[in-house]
Chain A
Amino acid sequence: MSSFVLIASLIFATYGVAVIEEWVSTNRLRLAGPLISTLRLLGQENILPRKSDRLFFEVGPVLLLIAALLSLAVIPLAPGLIVTDLATGALFFNAALAYVLVAMIMAGWGPDGAYGMIGGWRFLGQLIAYAMLVVMPITTVAMRAESLSTIDIVNSQEMLWNIAYQPLGFLLFLFAGMAMAFVPPFDLPVASGELAGGVEAEYTGVRLIIFRLGRMVLILSVSSAIVVFYLGGWLGPFGPDWSWSMIKILGVAALMLSGGRMLPRIREATLLAWSWKLGIPLALANIFLVGVLVLVVPL
């Protein structure tokens, strides 16, 4: 039963993210939008560019989807409603999403086109910027919960959500998460105005469906992680636990997708400079602050 609920909520939430994504990019709410787009792409010719690296071209999008799905395995929707409650859940989440980089470079390299390739390598630069800022805030979340298990992390926020307990960590993780899911303004690898679609540029038909699906699941996964780590997961005043998880996850996804549209796409150099000169010192300060808080005010 619980696996059925998990799969149903995965499909529902992914569809929800896709609806929000289309809404913020076209300013029109079309509930059937993602379904129509999927049907269109299903009927579209699957073009294999000449001289493509067939293996990389085919595997890239699939790997993106798998990595995003794997990371969702440690996200609890409610107590007991989780694919696997690993003792190292928070670490696993990070490890699974490391493959997003591999997927992006493969998908960029595979079709043998300049835009895709530059997009793929740009994402490598992006990883250098965000990677530390994903791990370091997770450290402080785990410090408070005294565990890496995602269930324990949610339970540790029963008195006070982490967004209030460690707001600095939340902000850093939010930005790093957005960069990881390459949503605007961090959409350097798939920028339309700079790379005509970048990594996505050569994909059509079913392969593009998989790529876009992978991206939606990735956005879902990052917003779920934000909810679990900082917004108290399933904790809510009334009603079923899973509904709170769902509402918060879609809310965070909407916030990420719409907020980013108001900012110009960041420059690669600026992203790296801010991450390392500002982000990492702040993340270290956050570790110190939370360390003190955990000792002095153990809520």
Chain B
Amino acid sequence: MFGSREFSKPNLLHGLIGRATGNDLRVLVVPGPELALAGGLDLMDAGLRMASGPRDANVLLLLPPLGDKMLNAASVAFAQMPRPRAIVALGVKNISPLPEADIYGELSQAGLIESVNSLRLHFAQNSFSNSVQSFDAPALQSRIEYTCPMHPEVVSNQPGSCPKCGMDLVPRETGTDTGQPEEKSVQKTQSSSNAAHAHSSHVKTAPAEVDHGEHKKADGESGDATAKYTCPMHPEVVSDEPGSCPKCGMFLEPVKAESDHGSHSHGSHSHESESSVSKLIGLEPGFMSMIEMTEGTPRSSDGLQMEWITVPFGPFFPGLPAGFGLELTLDGDNVAKATTSSFCGFSDSLENGPINAGDYVENLQGQMPLAPLTYRLLACRAIEAAAEKTSENDNLRDATLAQERIASQLRWLTNLGRQLGLKGIERKAAKLQLLIIGADYEQIIKLTPELSQFIKKVKATPFLRRRLDAVGELPPQSNWDGPQSIENNAAGRLVARLDDISQSLALIKKAGAIGEIKLAEIGNAAGHGHASVDTARGKANLHVELKGGQVISAKLDTPSMRHTELVAPLTDQQELGDALVAIASIDISPWEMRV
């Protein structure tokens, strides 16, 4: 059992705990809660509570579509979930490298409820077991090598003793053997903040290593021929090897030779080494000095030298879009650098050659689970443009698009509520989203008063506008084409999204019905076609080339691809909380990013 806790003879108390576990389910959703909402799953209603991270979760809920990258990240998260734990897979079968799911179910609310019931039984019976299997995520596996504590140059693949001093060699991790030089400093910690939220290869400087300030030099440097060791209290004691001071017994500390100064400059910054500063102010080297702690670290914009840490956020971070990988380099709690990635992007290259126009439409729709109909419409329009056909029910198609826009904005509001701790908004937006998707025209019209009331309530939430006012100002002339707002900040974009819901409702009302999106009969048409669609996130463009009724090439341009470039300027020198709110305010969908 990969999820049970080991116990040779489970007793009555264990049975009780198992039942309690089954009644207190904390779920980590892969790819993310948005996918559950978009798929019409009401997790709360099924008795599941969202976990804030892998350590908090006891259920890993897998929903389609799942790519390799996502499954790898999920396997890391699963490795970090405390036992007893379980995997529930709805509508997915192959989940390798994760172990077999404990419960398989169909992708529907009924399937979810049935799975949760089986899960309760599963936890009651299998929380504790005497045959437990360990699970190591492949992405977390690291190579262990053995080294001598006194002679760092001695490295062996096997445990043993040091040929120089006879001491037992101690194990150390070197990360997965990828051959990339920077991977040398990768520390695979089991801490959920580091590895769980990102594929390990994204962690270049593990926060763990830096934040504890052990202030060791990199391995390469410790074996540096120019390194000398001195006593912090007796500068006259100098040795070529580490050891203790003959006068006071203190550990000798490494000192860099003067000739090494140049190697410590970082980019445009440089700093004075410990010894030159000591000379300047006439102090004993190393005595009560903080310089060594910040030696070699880059300088902040305010000129202070601090230790910078690189922290991965995502792909399952509660306040960010699911599947969105974000790596922030933090200088204190200010963002010094932000890099983004996607764990679930699309591919518009037709690897298997030309495909049937109808299949292409289905394919693109399938690749965009958060806006399937929007991209279906985009593909239809582009293909029809190439075939020089016109669709008759454009109004109805726009109404369908509007319905999906409302659902998308409501999901964004759910996320905003989760990020800012506004439970009321989170719950209500999720509930309305579930009602909107799959609703027919009459149902949407019936929901209109409730939606309008909700919009008013969000606008009137005390301090919400104020909270968002100071965050998320886009640089002038930036490439933003999401919902247009009067104010250039997160508050403005909130209002714009709320207004977008109202406008979409009006559009549906005007259309009088909601239409199906079907590709017009194009026959063996050939030619080039271009189309664009106003998605909830901005304008999406598609260019297709048809030949004999088949799509031979396609080029997709999505709003999220363009908006990802705004992450860096939006977060630069922002406090961490503000940076995350700013990123959320531009509503990037990682499904709309290229793999």
Most chain B beta carbons < 10 A, residue from A27, A49, A184, A196: A196
Q: How close is B523's CB to chain A, nearest CB, in angstroms?
A: 52
Q: Does B538 contact A (CB under 8 A)?
A: no
Interchain CB contact under 8 A, A264 and B422: yes
| Contact across chains for A265 and B420 when beta carbons are under 8 A apart | yes
Give B177-232 interface residues, CB cut-off 8 Å to A.
187, 189-194, 197, 207-209, 211-212
Whether B319 contacts A112 by the Cβ 8 Å rule is no
Q: Check: A26 CB closer than 8 A to any chain B CB.
A: yes
Q: B52 contacts A262, CB within 8 Å? A: no
The minimal Cβ–Cβ distance linking A260 to chain B, given in whole angstroms, is 8
Stretch at the interface among A78-86, A114-122, A244-252: A114-122
Q: How far is the CA of A8 from the CA of B309 in the complex (A)?
A: 46
Chain B residues lying within 8 Å of A40, measured Cβ to Cβ, are 17, 20-21, 23-24, 58
Chain A, 37-69, CB within 8 A of any chain B CB: 37, 39-40, 42-47, 49-53
Given the known interface contacts A114-B194, A261-B423, the answer about A201 and B418 at a Cβ–Cβ threshold of 8 Å is no
Within 8 A of A (CB), among B305-346: 309, 311, 317-319, 330, 333
| Residue of A with least CB distance to B47 | A28
Chain B 389-421 per-residue mask, 1 if CB under 8 angstroms from chain A, else 0: 000000000000000000000000000001111
Question: How many Å lie between the Cα of A33 and that of B211 in the bound state?
Answer: 36
Q: How far is the CA of A117 from the CA of B318 in the complex (A)?
A: 18
Contact flag A192-B318 (CB < 8 Å), given A49-B189, A264-B464: yes
Q: Is the CB of A114 within 8 A of B208?
A: yes
Cα–Cα distance between A35 and B21 once the two chains are bound (Å): 11
For A50, give its contact among B55, B191, B197, B468 (CB under 8 Å). Answer: B191
B575 in contact (CB, < 8 A): yes
A44–B83 touching, CB < 8 Å? yes
B82 near A197: Cβ-Cβ < 8 Å: no
Report the Cα distance A266→B420, complex, angstroms.
Answer: 8
Do residues A201 and B53 form an inter-chain contact, with CB atoms below 8 A?
yes
Chain A residues lying within 8 Å of B470, measured Cβ to Cβ, are 267, 269-270
A196/B83 contact (C-beta < 8 A), A36-B23, A45-B5 known: no
A192 to B49, CA, bound (A): 13
B contact residues around A51 at 8 Å (CB): 187, 189, 191, 208-209, 212
**Interface 1/0 per residue, B414-439 and A, CB below 8 Å:** 00001111111001000000000000
Chain A 232-276 interface residues, beta-carbon cutoff 8 Å to B: 261-270
How far does the alpha carbon of A109 sit from the alpha carbon of B193 in the complex, in Å? 13
Interface string of A198-232 (1 = CB under 8 A from B): 00111111000000000000000000000000000
User: Nearest Cβ distance between residue B396 and chain A, in whole angstroms?
Assistant: 37
Measured in the bound complex, the distance between the Cα atoms of B311 and A205 in whole Å is 25
Contact across chains for A263 and B52 when beta carbons are under 8 A apart: no
Bound CA span A33–B21, Å: 11
Q: Is there a chain B Cβ closer than 8 Å to A194's Cβ?
A: yes
* Number of A-B pairs, beta carbon distance below 8 Å: 190
Closest A residue to B310 by CB, please name it.
A114
Q: Does A16 contact B (CB under 8 A)?
A: no
Nearest A residue to B420, CB-CB: A264
Cβ B424 vs Cβ A193 within 8 A: no
Known contacts A116-B193, A263-B462, A266-B467; is A184 also within 8 Å of B421 by CB? yes
Contact A43 B127 (CB under 8 A): yes
Q: What is the bound-complex CA distance between A179 and B423, given in angstroms?
A: 19
Alpha-carbon separation in the docked complex, A267 to B187 (Å) = 32
Are B55 and A202 within 8 A (Cβ)?
yes
Q: Are B580 and A193 in contact (CB under 8 A)?
A: yes
The interface bits of chain A over 6-46 (1 if a CB of B lies within 8 angstroms of the residue's CB, else 0) are 00000000000000000011110000010111011011111
Answer yes or no: A279 CB below 8 A from chain B CBs.
no
- Contact between B333 and A194, CB atoms less than 8 A apart: no
Q: Across the interface, do B208 and A196 meet the contact criterion of CB distance under 8 Å?
A: no
With both chains docked as a complex, state the minimum distance between the C-beta of B50 and any C-beta of chain A, in angstroms: 8
Q: Judge whether A43 and B17 touch: CB under 8 Å.
A: yes
Whether the pair A202, B191 counts as a contact (CB closer than 8 A) is: yes
Binding site for A on B (CB under 8 A): 5, 14, 16-18, 20-21, 23-24, 44, 49, 52-53, 55-56, 58, 80, 82-84, 127-128, 187, 189-194, 197, 207-209, 211-212, 309, 311, 317-319, 330, 333, 418-424, 427, 461-464, 466-468, 470-471, 575-578, 580
In the complex, the 3 A-B pairs of residues with the closest C-beta atoms, listed nearest first: A43-B17, A114-B207, A193-B419
9 contacts between A and B (CB under 8 A): A27-B423, A40-B58, A49-B190, A109-B211, A111-B191, A112-B212, A117-B211, A265-B467, A270-B470
Binding site for B on A (CB under 8 A): 24-27, 33, 35-37, 39-40, 42-47, 49-53, 109, 111-118, 121-122, 184-185, 187-188, 191-197, 200-205, 261-270
